[in-house]
Amino acid sequence: MAPNTMRRLFLIICITMITNAIEDMEFWRNVARDELKESLTYRWNTNTAKNVILFVGDGMSPDTITASRIYHRGEESYLSWEKFPHVGLLKTYDVDKQVPDSAATATALFSGVKTNYEVVGLDANIPLADCKSSLNSTYHTDTIISWAQDAGKATGFVTTTRVTHATPAALYAHCPDRRWECEAKVPKTASNCKDIARQLIEDEPGKKINVIMGGGRQVLVSDVVNGTNDPIDTYACYSKDGRNLISDWSSDKKLLGASYAVVQNNKELSEVDTENTDFLLGIFSNGHLTMDYARDQSPEGQPSLEEMTVTALKILQKSKTGYLLMVEGGLIDFAHHRGHAAQALQETTRFSDAINATLSMIDTTDTLVIVTSDHTHALSFNGYSDRGSNILGIAQKSRYDGIPYTILSYSTGGVNNMAYKIGDREAVRINVSLYNTSDFTYSQQAAIISDEAYHGGGDVAVYALGPYAHLFHSTHEQNFVAQVIAYAAKIGEYDSSAAHVIYMNSNILYLIITVVLVQISWSLI
């Protein structure tokens, strides 16, 4: 029996022993009464959010959350954010697509502006890969990072993907194609466009970000070594122009006279003097970080999302004017694309661990915490397994062909997710009971085979705690998230100093118009 299944059964037995009764009518009414009492005690928090922490579980669909909860500790349990008092839904469509990608959705989340599929930090005036039009700064979106920096706050982001990948890139870059992470992916016809990696290191707001952690060494430094435990990501950009943007980042901080550190493994991260470090660059792999189940936890290995998040908070919390931090659990999506449900659920529980650690370090009277996703995925939760079943196990046998199917499957998937064995005259569904469906490398079956499992177009959940968390209360457009952050933290268009400038400029304009009108009137007399 799988360890997770044993733990769940043990939990159910313990609950039964404690209550000394079945879960009858009175049991469930008591559960509801307790929830009602808790709900009635809650009061809205209308403090200004000195700090904002936005957690993005990439590809974390509602079914992913439910399955991960069960995987973690059973049906009765909750992931770290599931007891937040305010919950809403976000519509994830792009300007030009029903089903989005992470670049466009991240642009919506971080800038408050929806855009076109696979476009980063630009509004819908820019078609995909249109370099020339993208150089027009009128179409550049500013973001929660730049708003926070303008308000004097410390800023940072942490991700398990490359630091130039679609989601983090939308915090700081303006690029008509998410693939242009380094020069090798930029077409010769688009040579006037700066790649995403250079924008991070050379331009604002990227160069002013206090904490940057994730993978992506091969886009920041040219010709890095293809290591056994740290392979080149052949799918991603691999720089060949002789750059060393990590060295350039260090030189910039040295020139500023700032305290800084560059770290590239667990040992170096653990030795960071957070009290005396204002800028931290942590690049822990050539491509994305390794999936948590296979991660090297030795001193020479890679940190967990929780370890990176805790270190980031220790540095940012020194800011007297507050901070803004974005944390991405980016490998949830990566696992789903390959149809590896076990890996996706494991990454989601590690995402939850990072949030739990964060909640123990902050004061939610002045810190707004938001947990959401950028888009859904192809994962399906199938009927009709018994309560307490291993979520990665068998649901039941099909009433059509008598062959078992798993509780979790995918609507789309790659060739490893093939559900049928094709013969000369017929196709027979593969018997999943002949495989270890709980294994991290097992690929759940998919109904439609393509190159990989695709994103879904459904709404994602948003959970919030802290100042103005109650603004998430219904079904919202995805770009609403940035608007709430700006309003709660009084940054961006809600910055009181910015509002004062606008007010003063309005008065000056009014005065000028008045004078002109008086002069015209006088000339007509």
Task: Encode 447-466 in three state secondary structure.
Answer: EEECCCCCEECCCEEEEEEC
Domain 51-378+454-494: give its CATH code.
3.40.720.10
Whether the link from the prior residue into 139 is cis, omega within 30° of 0, is no
Question: Residues forming the annotated binding site?
Answer: 58, 165, 167, 328, 333, 337, 374-375, 455
Contact 168, 327 (CB under 8 A): no
Residue set of the binding site for Zn(2+):
58, 333, 337, 374-375, 455
**Do 395 and 384 form a contact (C-beta atoms < 8 A)?**
yes
Residue spans per domain, the chain: 3-40, 51-378+454-494, 394-445, 499-525
What is residue 255's predicted lDDT score, i.e. its pLDDT? 97
User: d(Cα 81, Cα 60) in Å, to the nearest integer?
Assistant: 13
Residues written for the chain: 525
Q: What is the dihedral of CA 104, 108, 111, 117, to 10 degrees?
A: 20
Which residue among 102, 373, 380, 389 is the active-site one? 102
Place of tokens 């397994």: 385
How would you class 408 by CB atoms within 10 Å of its CB: exposed for 0-12, middle for 13-18, buried for 19 or more? buried
Q: What is the pLDDT of residues 316-359, one digit of tens each?
A: 999 999 999 999 999 999 999 999 999 999 999 999 999 999 99
pLDDT attached to residue 14: 58
Residue with tokens 């940190």: 303
Peptide bond into 404 cis (omega under 30): no
Q: Give the amino acid at 333.
A: D
Residue carrying the six token digits 């800084």:
260
Concerning whether 298 is annotated as a catalytic residue, the answer is: no
Pairing, β 427-429 against β 420-422:
antiparallel
CB 374 within 8 A of CB 59: yes
Please give the single-letter amino acid code of residue 243.
Answer: R
Predicted local confidence at residue 525, as pLDDT: 56
Q: What is the pLDDT along the chain (525 residues), one digit of tens a residue?
A: 444 545 555 555 555 555 456 899 999 999 999 999 999 998 999 999 999 999 999 999 999 999 999 999 999 999 999 999 999 999 999 999 999 999 999 999 999 999 999 999 999 999 999 999 999 999 999 999 999 999 999 999 999 999 999 999 999 999 999 999 999 999 999 999 999 999 999 999 999 999 999 999 999 999 999 998 899 999 999 999 999 999 999 999 999 999 999 999 999 999 999 999 999 999 999 999 999 999 999 999 999 999 999 999 999 999 999 999 999 999 999 999 999 999 999 999 999 999 999 999 999 999 999 999 999 999 999 999 999 999 999 999 999 999 999 999 999 999 999 999 887 778 899 999 999 999 999 999 999 999 999 999 999 999 999 999 999 999 999 999 999 999 999 999 999 875 444 444 445 554 555 555 546 555 555
Is the model's pTM score more than 0.75? Answer: yes
Residue 21 pLDDT: 64
Tokens describing residue 70: 């069960």
Tokens of 232: 């080149």
Three-state secondary structure readout of 3-18? HHHHHHHHHHHHHHHH
Annotated binding site for Mg(2+): 58, 165, 167, 328
